[in-house]
């Protein structure tokens, strides 16, 4: 049997609103927060021995969890942090829970070019790899070499190369496969001036914080852009900025953000997503596809 005591305690009925940037969501039946790679397999075994479904979350920045919460074990990897880098070759390896902003700052200080665009993404390395996160013309696929993963159903970890991940716009095969991302390797360009990289990185962050509602709980961009159109422009053109359901509101600063004005429930946000989708589809024949991952909701709802 797995020694859960050696891995730390699993919390029962842990409020998941504390684990999402929207600050909504019901409790996890069980919640574990491993801080070491060797504990991941132990927790997966722990869940399997108890016949519990297991879900993996990171920083909760691209996640909407139903008000009823989640059954089984929720494995939160936000404490699984660490970075190793080689300033001469540009190779960087980061554990799955490493925050993207801190990684962007660290590689910039080392004179490694390639992640300046990512400083405003409030997620983790693992989540960014799964969704091929992007901003300001850059995306994870541009620099990722490989990821190390472990099957949720059991077994040893193994490596997948970037080619095997079938990256697309906000897409990778990791969204379908039953795998836990443990770490990711990147190849960046060495030999750049750290001061210049820091200047560009800071400028990118300043742009995002002045054009997006960073002072209110949100998940970042809610919808994928239906290229060549932009989701935010379509929503704004429909006059939907400021539209509310309960405590959820289409941001008055950026129309592709839904913010929690203070007392939102997950169901408010869920319904507002559908309202925006329906209005845009009725007007333009385009069904906006959410970037946000929704857990615990009835698929038919």
Q: Convert 264-281 to b/e letters by CB count within 10 Å (16 or more is b).
A: bbbbbbbebbeebbebbe
The residues that bridge with 146 in the sheet, in sequence order, are 161, 185
When computed from its CA atoms, the radius of gyration of the chain, rounded to whole angstroms, is 19
What is d(CA 269, CA 53) in angstroms, rounded to the nearest whole number?
Answer: 25
Nearest one of 26, 33, 31 to 65, comparing CA atoms: 26
Nearest one of 214, 107, 182, 22 to 118, comparing CA atoms: 107
DSSP one-letter string for 198-218: HHHHHHHHHHHHHHS-TTS--
Which residues carry out catalysis?
170, 221, 291
Q: How far is CA 81 from CA 37, 54, 87, in A?
A: 10, 21, 19
Q: Is 173 exposed, middle or buried (0-12, 13-18, 19+ CB in 10 A)?
A: middle
For residue 189, count other CB atoms closer than 10 A to its CB. 12
Q: Is 200 exposed, middle or buried (0-12, 13-18, 19+ CB in 10 A)?
A: middle
């Amino acid at each position: 049997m797995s020694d859960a005591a050696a891995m730390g305690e699993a919390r029962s009925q842990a409020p998941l609103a504390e684990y999402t940037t929207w600050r909504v969501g019901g409790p996890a039946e069980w919640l574990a927060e491993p801080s070491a790679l060797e504990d991941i397999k132990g927790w997966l075994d722990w869940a399997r021995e108890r016949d519990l479904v297991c879900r993996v979350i990171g920083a909760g920045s691209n996640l909407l969890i139903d008000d009823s919460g989640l059954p089984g074990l929720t494995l939160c990897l936000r404490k699984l942090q660490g970075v190793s880098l080689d300033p001469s070759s540009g190779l960087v390896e980061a554990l799955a829970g490493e925050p993207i902003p801190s990684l962007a700052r660290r590689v910039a200080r080392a004179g490694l070019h390639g992640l300046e665009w990512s400083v405003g993404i409030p997620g983790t390395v693992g989540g960014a790899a799964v969704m091929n996160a992007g901003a300001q013309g850059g995306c994870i696929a541009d620099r990722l070499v490989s990821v190390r993963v472990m099957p949720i159903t059991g077994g040893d970890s193994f490596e997948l190369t970037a080619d095997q991940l079938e990256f697309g716009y906000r897409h990778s095969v990791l969204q379908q496969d039953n795998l836990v991302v443990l770490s990711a390797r990147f190849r960046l360009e060495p030999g750049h001036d750290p001061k210049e990289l820091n200047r560009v990185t800071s400028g990118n962050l300043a742009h995002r914080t002045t054009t997006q509602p960073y002072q209110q709980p949100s998940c970042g961009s809610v919808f994928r852009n239906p290229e060549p159109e932009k989701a935010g422009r379509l929503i704004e053109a429909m006059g939907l900025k400021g539209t509310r359901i309960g405590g959820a509101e289409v941001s008055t600063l950026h129309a592709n953000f839904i913010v929690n004005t203070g007392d939102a429930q997950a169901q408010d946000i869920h319904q507002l997503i559908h309202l925006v989708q329906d209005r845009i589809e009725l007007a333009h024949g385009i069904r906006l596809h959410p970037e946000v991952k929704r857990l615990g909701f009835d698929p038919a709802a």
